[in-house]
Amino acid sequence: MAEVLTKASLVSSWRRGDGQQQYHHHRRVPKSCSLVSGVGKFPSLKLKSQIVRSSSSSSEFQGKKLVLHGNRGIPVRLNSRLRPSTGPQMNLRIGKVQKWWEKGLQPNMREVTSAEDLVESLLNAGDKLVVVDFFSPGCGGCKALHPKICQLAEMNPDVQFLQVNYEEHKSMCYSLNVHVLPFFRFYRGAHGRLCSFSCTNATIKKFKDALAKHTPDRCSLGPTKGLEEKELLALSANKDLSFTYSPKPLQPAHAPTNEEFSTKNAPASCSGSLPLASLTLNSEVFKERTLITSGR
């Protein structure tokens, strides 16, 4: 019994000592606590704020060594990773912006993709008027003139407008002798090229006059001509282009038959009456001859 009482007294004294030890241990936290962090030691102000916050929950440790984890920096990094970046969004927005030569295009306007595409487009146009527009993305005059060309294309839906990008088809433009921009060429049916000229925003009247002159419907006799023979040969001779063209064989001259030759060289028929002038001339010649003979 005595041993039980002594043990109970020891337990009660240990609890009182434990409370004091826990209290003193809590007061000694600033000196003995160690920080475990993935980024390093925190400044003194952050350390104090960490200790003050942990004072309310210190009773739960029951005298164990208090270890503070400085993880305040980690959520920031996680947030920065989880936060959607604005870089790809800006790239997508920039990619969707239309280029200036793509704005305001009408259904009768399209861009040429190759030399073969240009040749076939002209041949398939038939009697329709085709305007070929040579431009460059870095040409200020082309950019200023483009909105007016789109307006004229809208006003003339029966006219086909073909755009040729000089930067993408330099070799083809050299073969077609295009050395100034902006540059235009008009084509129609069997007539082939009607006119070619260069104009700017200040001289747009030249383009309007040519459009008004060649816009009326006309029926051309014969197949559609398109590009000229020398232009087709220049395109096929250009090694940078995948375009082939075989010149048409020359047709021999038509030799006249015997019947045509005989009818051509046959004397005129005497069934018809001769003109009055020829009769008087013959009578005068006859009189002169009679006078000469009588004089002899």
- Residues labelled catalytic: 139, 142
C-alpha 177/C-alpha 17 separation (Å) is 105
C-alpha 217/C-alpha 158 separation (Å) is 9
C-alpha 158/C-alpha 129 separation (Å) is 8
Q: How many CA atoms lie within 13 A of 102 on its CB side?
A: 4
Contacts of 202-208 with C-beta under 8 Å, sequence gap 24+, read 204/145, 204/148, 207/149, 207/152, 208/152
Closest CA to 99 of 153, 155, 138: 138
